[in-house]
Structure 1
């Protein structure tokens, strides 16, 4: 444990500091949204429509008169809820599946791999749009769809690691000592195969944020008046030609900084878990 914390300290540079700072800001926005948001995120005020940034409305208002700052703050909950829950669900399902199909090479494993090939043969965005259209444009339906799309990614990562580990001498020694298949898989192989998957979790959260925003941008994600970054950008894009820049700019920046946060945290996780990695600065 001491060596682990020493490794964390050695690789903790400027990039990791920025990543954790952005993560802290998002956690604060999620936990304290009712206290720091100046207005309700869903109450429209037609008399305040499309007001530019001012003292009363720091980020301005949209076409319905809703305060953009309040909606950006509350949207952090929606976007992170969808992204984190979908990735966690994909991790919980994909890791055991990948472990089993990597350890047992049979017809059943081949069948599952062909199913994954079928899912991944479609463009992720197009398949996500189709599934959300079938299930309905609700927050949890979007999370379920993204989870389904990410399962093959985690399963393939674990399978690749298992295939390289299952013939190692320490696994053969465990078999000779009488260890069962379950014991070998979960006590000997899985702990050594999780490193790339842990890194992928952070990267996948950023990908899920982009997919969620993209689906909402084209009208296939969550619906109004739910505060969601991509939906806000989509609504604001219609007024950009009129010089109303603030409606789309601020939720767009929220997407950029959130994705940057998880990309930096993913690099930091890789540096900490990879003994050959150089310090990220």
Structure 2
């Protein structure tokens, strides 16, 4: 089968999945819209997000400022749009690092076994014993304050979860007959891992990745809220919440926009992950 036919069948399967699961379709549409907003923010934003107007602070929504202004007179709607760029960048950076670190280690540990599997298991158990956000703060302190360093830290913290999943699935896949057949035909370990083990062990990892995207979003918001993520005057939803928190008693509505944006995005990631889990579960396959 050609690569074009394989790609066509893959897209057809995705479209069929979205047609059958309306919640997943709505969540995917929201995430696609969010990516478009992030890409087009410089052109669709009505104001520069860092422009201050100290005469017009904590202003209510108006025609000039659709969501009002913050305590420095900056347009909340513009900062919300630019914050989408940070949300997308930080989520995919953290999860990408987690995949690059966790999946290869987990697959190797499950396939090779022995002392390597034992050592990897001990490291995974040790890292998972720490609260994720506390460990992320510690790694951020070691790497230095900043958005990229903060999300690298989050990726390192998430990696053991993916490694454990990949290892558990690999332990099952390596016992399959097609793996034994490939070994008998003289296939190298690298070939077996790439062509036979990884494609059949990746399904639970894909589901966990979508869930970790929501976790990475919340982690970025938490780090920025604490001042360990993105630095002023750059906008992010977590940083906006931190500024709004200082004026909560005067203008509590300042917290609504970034809070709802974080909530909806996290729900969309989780909804896609839950739907994908059901779709890939062999016990739920249609006859």
- Name the TM-score, length of structure 2 as normaliser: 0.91
| 1:122 to partner: Cα distance | 1.0
| 1:124 to partner: Cα distance | 0.5
Q: Secondary structure at the match of 1:47?
A: coil
Q: Secondary structure at the match of 1:52?
A: coil
260-269 vs 228-237, which moves further: 260-269
Match of 2:221 in 1: 213
Matched, 1:224 2:241: no
C-alpha distance in structure 2 between counterparts of 1:7 and 1:274, whole Å: 15
| 1:272 to partner: Cα distance | 3.5
Matched, 1:272 2:279: yes
Q: 2:129 aligns with which of 97, 110, 121?
A: 121
Q: Secondary structure at the match of 1:256?
A: helix
Question: What stretches of structure 2 of length at least 5 have no aligned partner?
Answer: 1-5
Match of 2:197 in 1: 189
C-alpha distance in structure 1 between counterparts of 2:65 and 2:253, whole Å: 11
| 1:74 to partner: Cα distance | 0.2
- For the 8 Å contact 2:62–2:68, the answer to whether it is kept is yes
Provide Cα deviations, 1:198-219, integer angstroms capped at 9, x if missing partner: 1111111111001111122223
Match of 2:113 in 1: 105
| 1:10 to partner: Cα distance | 4.8
- For the 8 Å contact 2:34–2:84, the answer to whether it is kept is yes
How do 1:1-281 and structure 2 match up within 5 A?
A: 1=6, 5-6=12-13, 8-10=15-17, 12=19, 13-242=21-250, 244-277=251-284
Highest relative contact order (Cα 8 Å, sep 6+), 1 or 2? 1
| 1:168 to partner: Cα distance | 2.0
- Name the TM-score, length of structure 1 as normaliser: 0.92
For residues 7 and 21 of structure 1, do their structure 2 counterparts lie closer, same or farther at Cα, with a shift above 3 Å needed?
Answer: closer
For residues 66 and 10 of structure 1, do their structure 2 counterparts lie closer, same or farther at Cα, with a shift above 3 Å needed?
Answer: closer
For residues 278 and 173 of structure 1, do their structure 2 counterparts lie closer, same or farther at Cα, with a shift above 3 Å needed?
Answer: closer
C-alpha distance in structure 2 between counterparts of 1:238 and 1:140, whole Å: 25
Q: Secondary structure at the match of 2:249?
A: helix
- For the 8 Å contact 1:7–1:272, the answer to whether it is kept is no
Question: What stretches of structure 1 of length at least 5 have no aligned partner?
Answer: none
Q: Secondary structure at the match of 1:48?
A: coil
